[in-house]
Amino acid sequence: MNHTPSPHMAEAAKSGAGLLCGLGLGPDRVRSPDSLTHTPSPTGGTPSSSPPLLLSPGLGESGDWESREELRLRELEEARARAAQMEKTMRWWSDCTANWREKWSKVRSERNRARDEVRQLRQRLDALTKELTGARRERQELASENETLRQEALRLRADQASPSHAPSAPPSSSPPSSSSSSQPLVDSKQDRVGEGPGSPEQEPVRDVDTEKPDRQKELELLESVLRSKAEGPDSWDARSASSLRSALSRQDRSRLLWDDITAMEEDPGKINALQLRLDESQKVLLKEREDKHALSKSIEKLETELNQWKLKYEEQNKTKQEAMKQLNMLKEVHQDELGRMSEDLEDELGARTSMDKKLAELRAEVRLEHTASWLLKREREREREREREREREREREIEITRSTRGGWCGRQELREDGLIPSAPQELADMRHIHSKVKKQYQDKLAELAHANRRVEQHETEVKKLRLRVEELKKELGQAEDELDEAHNQTRKLQRSLDEQVEQSENLQVQLEHLQSRLRRQKSPGLFGKMRSARFSPENPDGPPSDPDEEEEELQIQIP
């Protein structure tokens, strides 16, 4: 009795095979029952040869499975390439930080060198201020001596201007030294008036009234000589010597000055030479003042340029700090994006591993179902073969009985004898077999419906996983775009930072040139400026200046 499967079961098997192939089971995964391990039959018999292959409609979708495998491998390669690119970017960031550390160490060393130079300049400035205070003290002493000499000259002028000077002066009131010194003074003055630069020959002056303006001129000439001696370059060099300052006291200096005055008064020929020297020294002083004025202007110009470069340097430092802040912010954003992308990749890998596990479980279940269905088919075929053998044996027996007895009578007799079953009994057997087969058919239909439901559930899960994978791909693309934008921004900031570093280096070089120029011109220039400001002949009796104010004027702040 042949039992052919219904077309509904064939269609269900085809749809199940298509769904399994859609899940990713190719021809290498959906194998024939012979390719599986040969399970021994429960009855100990040999398995039937070459049972029909299951899920044969899925064989046409092997190309789809291979394309999916290639897509998966390509995605894995892309993930590895992205991971390698991330490692390269991290190495690049580490190299950049190392380069920045080296540059900042160089900048720190240059700053320390500049601080040492500023310290040395301040030490030199302190030494110069000390020398300046000593020179100012000496100037004050010389000014006081000049004041005393001027008062003495005024007193002498007043004594000479009084009409009763010669007859009213008794010899007992004045010492012989003063009278003897005043007499050659008057004679020398008369000789000096006669031998002045304006008169080529000596003219005797005998009238007392005409001697008064000449004496006034002589006194003015004496004051100018004293002033020139107090302010001349030779006396300045002599005063700046510390040994002469420590060796001579005020009384000795005044005595030497009086001796010089008396010697000059005694020698009338020296006055013209002194007058010439005075004119030359005044010319030299004027030239030195002009040079000092030009140097002071150049120093002021250099100081203004230095202040401008300082402002530019501070602006460059501010821009550099802002750029470093932005770079640090971009680094933090980049690190956050890298962490988020790594977390997304880990989630995606976890989802893929879970999906692979589910696919492996589904494949194992499908294999078990295939084996179970194959075993059931084998049992059915065996039962059919047994039924066929029984039918054949019965037919043989019937033929034997027919050949022996013959006719219907013989058959009736065989039925009566019990060798051949009767028709109702045969019908009952057939009904029983039909009910059993129908029950098995219903069970198989229920199992097939259950398998279809499970396949639909798995298909929905696979669709959800595919949608999730697509979403992750989109998010990964967006993250890559954001990362590219961040890389572009970092490159732009790096370029701007390099440009600013170059500008700062150029400014540093220019600042060093200015510092070297200031070093070359600082010592004579600043000292000459202070000297021309403090010891100018326009203000000989000016008040003494404060050394703190001079130090503030001389101090140059170098960053």
pLDDT tens, residue by residue, 212-233: 455 555 556 656 655 554 454 4
Which range (110-124, 160-174, 178-192) has the least confidence? Answer: 178-192
Torsion of CA 118, 121, 123, 124, to 10 degrees: 180
| 54 has pLDDT over 70 | no
3-class secondary structure for 377-424?
HHHHHHHHHHHHHHHHHHHHHHHHHHHHCCHHHHHHHHHHHCCCCCHH
C-beta neighbour count of 510 within 10 angstroms: 14
Written as one letter, the residue type at 323 is A
**223/354: higher pLDDT:** 354
| 9 has pLDDT over 50 | no
Q: How far is 487 from 85, CA to CA, in rounded Å? A: 12
Q: How far is 103 from 389, CA to CA, in rounded Å? A: 99
- Cα–Cα distances (Å) from 465 to 65, 106, 473, in that order, read 17, 56, 12
Position 8 scores a pLDDT of 45
Q: How far is 90 from 334, CA to CA, in rounded Å? A: 10
10-21 pLDDT, tens digit each: 454 444 445 444
229-248 pLDDT, tens digit each: 445 444 444 444 444 444 44
Supply 361's token pair: 């479980």
Q: How far is 535 from 558, CA to CA, in rounded Å? A: 29
- Is residue 222 a contact partner of residue 261, using CB atoms and an 8 Å limit? yes
- Cα–Cα distances (Å) from 278 to 143, 189, 226, 282, 442, in that order, read 19, 18, 10, 6, 144
Mention every residue, 6+ apart, whose C-beta is less than 8 A from residue 216.
157
- Reported confidence tier of residue 53, pLDDT bands at 50, 70, 90: very low
- Is residue 7 a contact partner of residue 446, using CB atoms and an 8 Å limit? no
Q: How far is 410 from 396, CA to CA, in rounded Å? A: 15
Mean pLDDT estimate for the chain: 70
Position 81 scores a pLDDT of 92
Q: Which of 509, 453, 550, 559 is nearest to 131 (CA)?
A: 550
Torsion of CA 518, 521, 523, 529, to 10 degrees: -100
| 202 has pLDDT over 60 | no
Average pLDDT over residues 522-536: 53
Average pLDDT over residues 332-355: 83
Average pLDDT over residues 435-441: 86
- Reported confidence tier of residue 402, pLDDT bands at 50, 70, 90: low
Q: Is the entire prediction scored with pTM above 0.75?
A: no
- Reported confidence tier of residue 117, pLDDT bands at 50, 70, 90: confident
- Reported confidence tier of residue 339, pLDDT bands at 50, 70, 90: confident
Average pLDDT over residues 155-164: 74
Most distant CA atoms of the chain, gap in Å: 214
- Reported confidence tier of residue 161, pLDDT bands at 50, 70, 90: confident
Phi and psi based region of residue 55 (left: phi greater than 0; alpha: psi -120 to 50; beta: remaining): left
Q: How far is 333 from 483, CA to CA, in rounded Å? A: 10
Average pLDDT over residues 460-482: 85
Position 340 scores a pLDDT of 84
Position 48 scores a pLDDT of 41
Which pairs with CB-CB distance under 8 Å and at least 24 residues apart come from 522-526? 522/121, 522/299, 522/556, 523/124, 523/128, 524/295, 525/295, 525/296, 525/298, 525/299, 526/128, 526/299, 526/554
DSSP 60: G
- Reported confidence tier of residue 264, pLDDT bands at 50, 70, 90: low
282-328 pLDDT, tens digit each: 888 888 888 888 888 888 888 888 888 888 888 888 888 888 888 88
Average pLDDT over residues 26-35: 42
**530/392: higher pLDDT:** 392
Q: Is the dihedral of CA 74, 77, 82, 83 positive or negative?
A: positive
- Reported confidence tier of residue 556, pLDDT bands at 50, 70, 90: very low
Position 301 scores a pLDDT of 86
Q: How far is 480 from 486, CA to CA, in rounded Å? A: 10
